[in-house]
């Protein structure tokens, strides 16, 4: 709180506090996964979602980057007599999450939940997925437009590079929308809650996933260009040779990244890998 008793938010941390407990309860209930008794929360803030999670899970570890919020968070937990929450101050992008899970949730099945700052949604989601954490699912609230991209099916206008990362590691689902009036300060955009059910094994088998995602990122970094033009230079291939590789898998020479599926990119990657090709920098 500031000196006038009003809720403060740090723009530098992209803080918009959820103030509707019914939304928090709905997020927590949608986070419940069979066999899971632990919840790792990202961005606990003042604790409205933390308290809801504590009623649904045996143990909650709440990570919060803002040290100024920790006393209020702990006070709110004490006020509700919540005793099954461990508060950790830290940056989720810098924490050793494997170590944190092993230390705090040893022997427990875990889900990951959070209300993510809009400006760093993609880095956080990417880290959670690419780290291959021992979690069953990830439930996060993000900007509505971002949620649409995160859950976009292949070969649709809203597909993006991160959509491929998500569908490689999980099955995404847009659960429900949350209007901006449920936050303080009120953001200019609405939010949405999405759930990623983590796959036991990646959606496609590929020897070099790093190369595949490099190809995907290159394709989407110049999404108006055809793959022949965007990938050819990066792979050091002339147009004719790359067209031959694409044709081998039934992909048109004029195709763009948004017109391909994960299986298509996996096939192109395998062909490049077998030919000893790597992206040139």
- pLDDT tens-digit series, residues 222-241: 878 888 888 877 777 777 88
pLDDT band at 280 (very low <50, low <70, confident <90, very high): low
Q: Which residue ranges make up each domain of the chain?
A: 11-198, 209-274
pLDDT band at 272 (very low <50, low <70, confident <90, very high): confident
Residue with tokens 């959070």: 114
Phi, psi of 55, rounded to the nearest 5 degrees: -85, -10
Phi, psi of 13, rounded to the nearest 5 degrees: -105, 5
pLDDT band at 243 (very low <50, low <70, confident <90, very high): confident
pLDDT digits (tens, 9 = 90+) for 208-218: 898 899 899 99
Tokens of 168: 């490689």
Task: Give how far Cα 274 sits from Cα of 215, 236, 265, Å.
Answer: 15, 15, 14
Q: How much is the pLDDT for 12?
A: 44
Q: How much is the pLDDT for 10?
A: 45
Stretch 88-110: mean pLDDT: 95
CA distance 71 to 90: 14
Contact 172, 148 (CB under 8 A): no
DSSP state of 18: E
Instruction: Give strand ranges (E) for the chain.
Output: 17-18, 38-42, 59-64, 85-89, 110-115, 135-143, 170-178, 183-184, 191-198
pTM: 0.90
CA distance 163 to 155: 11
Higher-confidence position of 202 and 11 = 202
CA distance 219 to 226: 8
CA distance 73 to 88: 11
pLDDT band at 278 (very low <50, low <70, confident <90, very high): low
Q: How much is the pLDDT for 13?
A: 45
By CB atoms closer than 10 A (0-12, 13-18, 19+), residue 276 is exposed
Q: Which long-range contacts (CB under 8 A, 24 or more apart) does 24-29 make?
A: 24/48, 24/49, 24/51, 24/52, 25/52, 26/176, 26/193, 27/52, 27/113, 27/115, 27/139, 27/141, 27/193, 28/52, 28/53, 28/55, 28/56, 28/113, 29/56
Q: How much is the pLDDT for 277?
A: 59
Contact 83, 57 (CB under 8 A): no
Q: Say whether the peptide bond before residue 161 is cis (omega within 30 degrees of 0).
A: no
Q: Quick check: do 11-198 and 209-274 share a fold? A: no
CATH 1.10.8.100 fits 209-274, yes or no: yes
User: What's domain 11-198's architecture?
Assistant: 3-Layer(aba) Sandwich (3.40)
């Amino acid at each position: 709180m500031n000196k006038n008793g009003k809720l403060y938010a740090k723009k530098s941390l992209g803080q918009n506090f959820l103030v509707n407990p019914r939304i928090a309860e709905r997020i927590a209930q949608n986070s419940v996964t069979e066999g899971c008794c632990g919840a790792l929360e990202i961005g606990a803030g003042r604790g409205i979602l933390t308290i809801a999670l504590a009623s649904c899970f045996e143990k909650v570890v709440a990570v919060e980057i803002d040290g100024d919020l920790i006393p209020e968070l702990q006070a709110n937990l004490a006020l509700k007599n919540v005793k099954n929450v461990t508060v950790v101050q830290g940056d989720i992008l810098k924490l050793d999450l494997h170590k944190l899970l092993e230390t705090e949730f040893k022997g427990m099945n875990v889900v990951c939940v959070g209300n993510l700052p809009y400006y760093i949604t993609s880095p956080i989601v990417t880290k959670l997925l690419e780290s291959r954490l021992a979690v069953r699912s990830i439930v996060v609230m993000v900007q509505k437009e971002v949620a649409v991209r995160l859950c976009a099916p292949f070969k649709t206008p809203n597909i993006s590079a991160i959509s491929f990362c998500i569908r490689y590691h999980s099955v995404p689902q847009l659960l429900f929308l949350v209007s901006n009036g449920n936050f303080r300060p009120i953001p200019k955009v609405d939010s949405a809650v999405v759930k990623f059910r983590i796959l036991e094994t990646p959606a496609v088998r590929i020897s070099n996933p790093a190369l595949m995602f490099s190809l995907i990122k290159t394709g989407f970094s110049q999404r108006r260009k055809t793959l022949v033009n965007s990938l050819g230079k990066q792979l050091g291939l002339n147009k004719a040779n790359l067209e031959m590789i694409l044709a081998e898998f039934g992909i048109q020479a004029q195709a763009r990244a948004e017109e391909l599926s994960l299986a298509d990119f996996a096939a192109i990657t395998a062909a490049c890998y077998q030919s000893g090709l790597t992206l040139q920098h």
